[in-house]
Structure 1
Amino acid sequence: MRWTTFANRAGQSTGAGIADPEVPEPRRKAIGPALQGLIAFIIYLAAFVALSGHALFPHLNVPKVGQDKVDPNFYVWAWSWWPYALTHGLNPLHSHLIGAPGGYNLAWATTSPAVAVLVWPITAAAGPIAAFNVTLLLAPPASAWAAFVAARKLTGKFWPALLAGPVYGFSSYELSHDASGQPNLTVTLLPALMVYLVLLWWDGTLKRTGYVIWMTVAVALEFYTFVEAFAEITIVGTAALVVGLAVAGAAVRPKIARLAVYTAAAYAGAIVIASPYLFYALRNFPKVFVRQKPQFSLDLASLVIPGKHRLFGMNWLAAASGHLRETASYIAIPMLVLFVLLAVFTWSSRLVRMLTALFAVIILLTLGPHLIIDSRREFTLPWSGIWRLPLLRSAEPVRFIDLGYLILALGMAIWLSTVTVRRTVLWARWALAVAALAAVFADVPSLASVVVPPDPPQYWEKANPQLKISNDIPVFFTAGTYKKYVKPGENVVILSHRGNAGMLFQAYTDFYFRIGGGFINDALSRADALPQDVGALRQPTRQRIQDFENYARRAGVGALIVENAWAEKWMYIFATLGFKSTDTGGVTIFQVTPAK
């Protein structure tokens, strides 16, 4: 649908029968695609802030999201680390400021350097916590906008594209990971923009050189945003070209072949841009980095069975939804019905056939090495061997579903823009589309819904004392008190029930001190973000105490800092070991004599 503004025609005849030359004839003024895109983004942003980000928006400098988990504060740290490393001449792919004494290899951690650099101005002006919170607020609307842009280009219609955008940007995958504080999984606008670039080239708006340059930039940015997503896009993009060649007519196949060549050239350029990262990562490949577990694959039941918070009063589904390991892949029956009806009634369209086949390929990829239905492993799939390849053995197959949502978004835009002469059919199409969106968005998870953990994570003791949880940064850090007790560059260990608190506080203080431990991912670091010899003191023995003292000397630990508001009883064990303690600014400091 084109938006137009109508005006009365001017230039009517004067009394002499001659038109006034100074009064031009007004023309219809259509709102252009760029302004339509801006309007769509504003709508998406306002809706997301109202539905999910309202509690976060007024408190951007407070770490509110997922403080019982380790990922959010890792990204707060990463948003601060990249500017710090680049401005101090440090290797950004290996940090000696965490994981003391040896440091951590970050090449196989998802630090998302492209995003960290993009939000650098916010980090510099307001700090890494504010930059992280702004990222969470902008990521879903930006992804929805990118899908809108692609759908608007594909159909030429505003309203179908406007409804299609949230199918991708506000999907269960996007919103659940955003509420978990995982921007590597929610900054997903680039795949949709790549589709947009292909459409621009296809209709001749973008010429060969422009396409190769812009696609090179997009692919390189995706690599530096999330390497796993880069690999997934490469696989699905290759499949799209193959399927396109299979369904296209003979006259179109040479054009698809040229598209493949130009895209390959763009990938070659992106690899060159990514080569410093790739070279370092491949030279420092972890010895043990296999993450193929059942929970990382798609459970087919999760496509149609909602999570417990989306049951629509159907309590009989509660047991089934409670069994599901993965709820970020929920598509809902109305959305699947819409896509099936699109395929059935418009099968003559080669584009629809391509999207249908590509969606099927994506679902097969999300299944991973085994078929899982309702949390039960049924059998091993014939292509299970691909998940042992170097670049895929550390991937999570279910994450392919994000690209499936993009296919569904484009399908919805086509569904709503298909011409029909019967008004009842038109209204039925729109009603089904609205129902599909409503089923997915029945209960949008709030960015503040995980502020206070209802239960301790499994890797913490269940017998915790009553925690007086506060999300605020302790005054010890905000008032600069830490400078009285910790020397610049000194190694400390932060103990807190708050996830990855050490990396959070280190980033907040602009890397004033080093820390022992820290979480970078579940394959390369401990889930509690503590050094092994410190975490073992939950159940102290004489040998474990000796191991801790050896570690403290070896790593040059100067102080152990317990965040009182998130403290567990065992964290005060150091007083029984003879360390002098001081309570100040919301923390307890145990002074340790560092190794000389």
Structure 2
Amino acid sequence: MKRGALYPVLYVLVALALFGRVLPVMGHSWIGLDADAKQVVYWLDLVADALRHGHNPLITHAIQAPGGVNLMWNTSMVLPGIVLTPLTLLAGPYATYDVLVIAAPLLSACAAFGALRRIVPSAAAAWVGGLVYGFSPALLGETLGHAQTAMAWFPPVVLLLVYEAVVRRRWAAWRVGLLLGVAIAAQLLIGEEMVLATAAIGACGAGVLALQHPAHTRAAARRLGVVLAVAGSAALVLAAVPLAVQFFGPYRPSGRLVPGDVVVADAGALLVPASRQLLRMAGLSADPWTLVTEDSGAYIGLPVMLLLLVAWQKLRSVSAAVTWAVPVVLITSLFALGPHLHLGGVATSIPLPWIVLDRLPLLENLDPARLMVLAWLGIALVVSVSVEHALRRQGRDRLVRCSLLAAALATLLPAAIPVTAATAPAYFASSDAANIPAGDTVLIAPLSDGSGLRVLIWQAEAGLRWRMIDGNAYGQGRTLYYAPSTLTDALAGLEFGAPLDVGRLRVGSMRDDLRRLGVGTVIVSGSDHQQQQVDLLRGVLGPETYAGGGAHVWHDVARLVTRRPTTAA
């Protein structure tokens, strides 16, 4: 084996050490938390099912009936879903998801290694930088449920291509632009948010470079302009059909999609490790300070911050890369804090720079906390340069420098990555579930709100044969979760602990909701407040027509809502 091929193999070993515990249960469990990962598993199954039946994988009618969902507006990972469809059909979506999650930091690290190898002379130093990026707290945090963000090969590829275009200039500008266009088109079908984030931070990086090297700005701008023009044209051609579906196709959402000032990095979490770090502070954790666990990877830590500071002071006179990277890391980390400062779990009214970008079209739908993934690319660059300079030393000086670097990086060691078993109520594998008419519209309680993504998995367990009225997705004129109505609001209220007042049920309005939505079957299963929801539906539809396998089921709802007299409260 050539020495150069050894470095990616080492990343494979690291990935297997982190995620290997899923291998014996692959296909029946998934890597990560019992939360957003279920959504990605569902998308993978949905794309494979669409291709198997010859349907458009960019549009689905399986959820948010009687309408549907435009997958281009969601984190659907269409390209990986298409590429891995044979695996999904053969081994199931859980196995496909686990393969993606294992591959995400591995590919990200390899991409970073390739980029850093162009910048630093030492392959070993570049390998360390790739390791720091691909297995950083931010990126490993995203593997807990956000595979589309954890698949972060795109920023290093952009860095590599821009470096080739502006600094090395060994490739023709049109060739660099063409490669960049292919990368953009691919990333658009993996996760568009990463394209937006890379563009925003890339623009800041270009600004820093222009301020630091004004004499070269004009020539670099001309060459970069050619690259971007070719890249944009190539990306538009390659992604023309998906983009046309997204912006001109059906079921397009409107307005702001993500809430502002929510999925942000807490300033305290930059210094205080979360429970996902192997080395933690006794009695203090950043876990409660972030709403979304998968996006709580803001931790850099004091040792790595000191490493950046020392590198800035000692190496900026000899390394243009460090001179550029440290300010970019600072800017990116500041942006990740969101529009207003959050400190120790407390949201303040102190405005931060992101408040300006937060008001721009498209960027308003970017979750700032995820920018920390890009911050780690800058940190990885500084680490690579620092390691390269340490390796140049001799004797004791070399040993001391390498030991200090190793000690600082040891604070980034992750704790064990959780594995979640895939479970579903027995009903969804029963003959009664199999007898639900294909294409029937089904209401399942609990509804698929943030805590109820499991119902998507249950629909997949039943073979995606029928449609659901809700679904955790952005659709036309719909919330992210269930469609608001008298009935769904009442069911959701019960799920969150509201008391059931049978005497105040608006039965007539609830039956109208069922007619309007075209519901053919109602299922209550696996709810934390199942009995109250069953009692509510008995008041609306009468006794259930089937009970078993942990579920209460009402079939032929159209008949049930017409046979019983309306007694609206």
> Shorter-chain-normalised TM-score: which range?
0.7 to 0.9
Deviations 1:146-199 (A, max 9, x none): 2222223322433223322232222222222212x2212211112112223344
Say yes or no: does 1:347 pair with 2:316: yes
Supply the distance in 2 between the matched residues of 1:440 and 1:105 (Cα, whole angstroms).
38
Instruction: State the 1:299 CA deviation.
Output: 2.4
Q: 2:530 aligns with which of 568, 576, 582?
A: 568
Counterpart Cα distance in 1 of 2:263 and 2:392: 42
Contact 2:315/2:322 (8 A) holds in 1: yes
Q: Deviation at 1:220?
A: 1.1
Counterpart of 1:188 in 2: which secondary structure? coil
Structure 1 contact 222–230 (Cα < 8 Å) conserved: yes
Q: 1:511 to 1:261 in 2, by over 3 A?
A: same
SS at match of 2:272: coil
Given that 1:160 and 1:414 are in contact with CA atoms closer than 8 Å, whether structure 2 keeps it comes out as yes
**Residue identity in the other structure for 1:286:** P
User: Which segment is superposed worse, 327-336 or 91-100?
Assistant: 91-100
CA deviation profile, 1:356-399 (whole Å, cap 9, x unmatched): 22222212322332233333425223662331111122221222
Alignment check: 8 A CA contact 2:333 2:375 kept: yes
Question: How far 1:430 moved relative to its partner?
Answer: 2.2
Larger relative helix fraction: 2
Output aligned runs, 1:83-94, within 5 Å. 83-86=48-51, 88=53, 90-94=55-59
Unaligned segments of structure 1, at least 5 residues: 1-29, 452-469
Give the one of 530, 546, 554 matched to 1:590.
554
- Residue 156 of structure 2: aligned partner: 192
- Shift in Å at residue 92 of structure 1? 4.0
Q: Please tell me whether residue 270 in structure 1 is matched to residue 241 in structure 2.
A: no
Give 1:431's aligned residue: 403
- Asked if the contact 2:538/2:544 (under 8 Å) is kept, the reply is yes
**One-letter code of the match for 2:372?**
I
Looking at CA atoms only, which structure, 1 or 2, has the larger radius of gyration?
Answer: 1
Separation in 1, partners of 2:301, 2:373: 14
What SS does the corresponding residue of 2:341 show, helix, strand or coil? strand
Alpha-carbon distance in 2 for matches of 1:480, 1:161: 56
1:545 matched to 2:503? The reply is no
2:113, 2:127 within 8 Å by CA — same for their partners in 1? Answer: yes
Which stretch shifts more, 214-223 or 564-573? 564-573
| SS across alignment from 1:315 | coil
* Aligned pairs for 1:21-420 within 5 A: 31-33=2-4, 35-50=5-20, 54=21, 56-64=22-30, 68-69=34-35, 71-86=36-51, 88=53, 90-179=55-144, 181-200=145-164, 202-203=167-168, 206-248=171-213, 250=215, 254-255=219-220, 257-283=222-248, 286-289=253-256, 291-308=258-275, 310=277, 312=279, 314-315=281-282, 317-318=284-285, 322-323=288-289, 327-348=296-317, 349-374=319-344, 375-381=346-352, 384-418=355-389, 420=392
Please state whether the residue corresponding to 1:331 is helix, strand or coil: coil
Do 1:78 and 1:116's aligned partners in 2 also have CA atoms closer than 8 Å? yes
Aligned partner of residue 361 in structure 2, secondary structure: coil
Greater alpha carbon shift after TM alignment, 38-47 vs 374-383 = 374-383
| Cα deviations by residue, 1:298-340 (Å, 9 ceiling, x for unpaired) | 322211111256595643535x764455631111111111111
Other-structure match for 1:472:
423
* Stretch deviating more after TM superposition (527-536 or 510-519): 527-536
8 Å contact from structure 1 (residues 494, 515) kept in 2: yes
The CA distance in 2 between the partners of 1:443 and 1:404, in whole Å, is: 21
- 1:127 and 1:508 in contact (8 A); partners too: no
* Residue 490 (1) aligns with residue 456 (2): no
Scaled by the length of structure 2, the TM-score of the pair is 0.84
CA-CA distance at 1:425 after TM superposition: 3.1
Judge which range, 397-406 or 232-241, deviates more.
232-241
Question: What SS does the corresponding residue of 1:487 show, helix, strand or coil?
Answer: coil
Q: What secondary structure, in the 3-state scheme, does the structure 2 residue paired with 1:492 have?
A: strand
Report the Cα distance in structure 1 between the residues aligned to 2:65 and 2:408, rounded to whole angstroms.
Answer: 50
Q: Distance in 1 between matches of 2:321 and 2:388?
A: 14
SS of the aligned residue for 2:558 comes to coil
Task: Decide whether the 8 Å contact of 2:334 with 2:353 is kept in 1.
Answer: no
- Number of residue pairs matched? 537
Structure 1 residue 408 displacement after superposition: 0.6
What is the RMSD computed on CA atoms of the aligned residues? 3.2
**1:290 shift after superposition:** 5.1
Aligned counterpart, 1:499: 452
- Structure 2 residue aligned with 1:447: 418
Letter of the structure 2 residue corresponding to residue 587 of structure 1: A
Whichever residue aligns with residue 58 of structure 1, its letter is P
Q: What is the identity, as a one-letter code, of the residue corresponding to 1:307?
A: A
Q: CA separation in 2, counterparts of 1:521 and 1:59? A: 32
SS at match of 1:296: coil
Query: Structure 2 CA distance, aligned partners of 1:163 and 1:150?
Result: 12
Q: Does the CA contact (< 8 Å) of 1:128 and 1:508 recur in 2? A: no
Shift of 1:274: 3.0
Note if contact 1:560-1:590 (Cα within 8 Å) is conserved in structure 2.
Answer: yes
CA distance in 2, matches of 1:480, 1:59: 26
Distance change in 2, residues 1:493/1:229 (3 Å): same
Give the drift of 1:79: 0.9
Question: Any conservation in 1 of the 2:109–2:153 contact (CA below 8 Å)?
Answer: yes
**Deviation larger for 227-236 or 573-582:** 573-582
Task: Verify the 8 A CA contact 1:99 1:531 in the aligned structure 2.
Answer: no
Q: Distance in 2 between matches of 1:425 and 1:495?
A: 65
- 1:15 corresponds in structure 2 to none
Give 1:543 shift: 4.2
Whole-angstrom CA distance in 2 between matches of 1:517 and 1:532:
14
* Equivalent AA in structure 1 for residue 69 of structure 2: Y
Q: Aligned equivalents of 1:72 and 1:311: distance in 2?
A: 23
% identical equivalent positions: 25
Residue 393 of structure 2 is aligned with which of 421, 433, 441?
421
Which amino acid is the alignment partner of residue 559 of structure 1? T
**Distance in 2 separating the partners of 1:311 and 1:532:** 47
Q: Residues 410-452 of structure 1: CA distance to partner in whole angstroms, max 9, x if unpaired?
A: 11111101154343332233223322332122524x232xx4x
The answer for unaligned runs of 5 or more in structure 2 is 495-499, 563-569
Q: Which amino acid aligns with 1:60?
A: M
Residue 64 of structure 1 deviates from its aligned partner by 4.4
Q: Secondary structure at the match of 1:588?
A: strand
